[in-house]
Amino acid sequence: MKFFEDIKKDFNTMIWVLIPVAIAINIVMGQIVVILKLPIYLDSIGTVLVAVIGGPWAGALTGALSNTIWGLLIDPNALPWWPVAFFIGLVAGFCAKGGLFKTWWKVLIAGFLIALTAAIVSTPIAVYIYGGITASGSSFITAYLLQTGQGVFQSVFSTNFLVEPVDKISTSLLAFAIIQGLSSRFLARFPRPENVEIEQGAERTQLFIAVGIVILLVLIAAFVLVKILG
């Protein structure tokens, strides 16, 4: 069947080697963010990376395994979020198949689509399992919105809609920048190198633009958080 053939295409030896590395990146970045109580997550960089050059199902598996392993071995609070990580990988992979990881401005669109998915999937988990207040630094925003009289569900979704675009666009651009730093010969060993083919000679420019936008987004997020908490 074509469906199972598509899933099988996502996996080759290189992807199976990359998945553990991607999981480690997710967990390390996610744990740093939790410890520092930052208002973003950055725990899906490895997931998006695998999804783009491996495919949606490889990305979904990476995301689900990341949160499962993270939750079982390090932080139990990470475990309930595995469905969010699963859909992040899935949507990122389909965005890449649709050509949204070939230029930096298309990556912005992909990041927003991934963010919208993450906000929709994560809101019920945050509300019904954690009562709206999680271990993430973004809960400071939720707590502030609750104090203004908004309901829990509305406060959580509003927080997610504020935080997720900054996080997922930054994550997508960082994954894009990493990929642009890899050689074409190396990328050709993965299942879907065609997802990241761009105009010849534009690689360095796109890398600098992607990194620059990430820095700008992080600064904006920090400024907004200071304003809210101030």
Please give the Cα distance from 107 to 144 (Å, whole number): 31
Q: Which two tokens stand for residue 50?
A: 């695998």
- Structural domains of the chain in order of their starting residue, each with its CATH number: 2-229 (1.10.1760.20)
Torsion 174-176-181-187 (CA) sign: positive
Closest CA to 61 of 92, 38, 86: 86
Q: What is the DSSP letter of 1?
A: -
29 within 8 A of 66, measured Cβ to Cβ: no
Of the candidates 39, 13, 30, 130, the residue with the CA atom closest to the CA atom of residue 85: 30
CA dihedral 32, 34, 40, 42 (to 10 degrees): 40
Radius of gyration of the chain (CA): 17
State the pLDDT at residue 135: 63
Question: What is the pLDDT, as a whole number, of residue 207?
Answer: 60
CB burial string 92-125: b at 16+ within 10 A, e below: bbbbbbeebbbbbebbbebbbbbbbbbbebbbeb
Q: Could you give the CA distance from residue 218 to residue 216 in angstroms, rounded to a whole number?
A: 5
Cα separation, 224 vs 138, whole angstroms: 11
* Element housing 91 (H / E): helix 82-97
Q: What angle do CA 49, 50, 52 make, to 5 degrees?
A: 70
pLDDT value for 37: 73
pLDDT in tens, the chain (230 residues): 677 777 888 899 999 999 999 999 999 998 888 887 776 788 999 999 999 999 999 999 999 999 999 999 998 989 999 999 999 999 999 999 999 998 888 999 999 999 999 999 998 998 888 877 776 666 667 777 777 777 788 888 888 888 888 889 989 988 998 888 888 889 999 999 999 876 444 555 666 666 666 666 666 666 555 555 55
Which CA distances in Å does 183 have to 155, 207, 229?
44, 13, 44
CA 59 – CA 134 distance, rounded (Å): 25
